[in-house]
Amino acid sequence: MVNFISPVAPLFVPGSRPERFHKADASTADAVILDLEDAVAPADKDRARDAILAHASGLKSLVIVRINAPGTNWNEADLDAVNRLEKVSIMLPKAERSEDIANIAKRTRRHFPVIAQVESAIGLAHLPEILCAENLVMVAFGSLDFSLDLGCAHERLPLLAARSELVWRSRAARRLPPLDGVTTNLENPTVMEDDASHAAELGFGGKLAIHPKQIETIVKAFRPSEKAIVWARNTLGAASSGEALRIDGEMVDRPVIERARKILSYSEAGRRDG
């Protein structure tokens, strides 16, 4: 398994906009995703690739390069460019088979950490094998393309089953919790708050951001609330006394104690579980 620290609020930046790279790096995002795919027009792919090669090594954040999907005209050139960089990870869009991840190592002859974006019904159907791919560290939900593929609304209820499957299958495969897809509404902060909280409650480990102003909201959603932290401390305090107690009407038994420990652990790391 390759070494990788899971980000909570990674921020997308178009690869064709190098003037934004260092601004994103200076933001509160815990990773910067330099995008060669959807955010870059076909005519600008070469220029974006060159910009990433020129600037990526100067960024202090965790750098993830989203390459173009397998089978496109740009995929191999993207991989050849990334292969010239050090200390970067790869985000693979439109992942549908484990071979898509394996081909990265075959092309580069290196073990880059890979985040696979699940963006289609085929990708979700093949999720168990994708999660077993070598060098894969986690998956991310491409909710916009997924809803387009299914012909369903890009809303919570139609996508609930897919989101839940990403979470529990990631856990079963002993992978990091997945990243939720983007929220495109930049005008109403309540939409982002609700979307991020929904993802955190389902068990996602973080959420993709497309604007710096979304980062604080995402991080807050995945951080244990003060109420949860107080509950966890009270629960562990009761458990240490050796008494069989109820906390807020809940029997304090082993799973409850473990959950309390997890909340306090996540509070130090900025994650959420409750």
Is 145 labelled a binding residue?
yes
- Is the Cβ–Cβ distance between 65 and 90 less than 8 Å? yes
| CA distances, 14 to each of 135, 186, 222 (Å) | 25, 17, 25
How far, in Å, CA of 158 to CA of 129, rounded?
A: 24
Of the candidates 225, 194, 190, 224, the residue with the CA atom closest to the CA atom of residue 207: 194
- The widest CA-to-CA distance across the chain, in whole angstroms, is 68
- Per the structure block, which two tokens stand in for 35? 């995008």
Distance linking the first and last C-alpha atoms of the chain: 29
Residue 78 marked as a ligand binder:
no
CA 125 to CA 230: how far, in whole Å?
41
For residue 84, the SS3 value is: coil
Q: Give the Cβ contact number of residue 220 at 10 Å.
A: 16
Quote the crossing angle between the two packed helices 189-202 and 156-172, to the nearest 10°: 40
Query: How far apart (Å, rounded) are the C-alpha atoms in residues 166 and 179?
Result: 9
How are beta strands 114-118 and 136-141 bridged, if at all?
parallel
Token code pair at residue 161: 């089953």
35 labeled binding residue: no
Annotated binding site for Mg(2+): 119, 145
Annotated binding site for substrate: 66, 119
Annotated binding site: 66, 119, 145
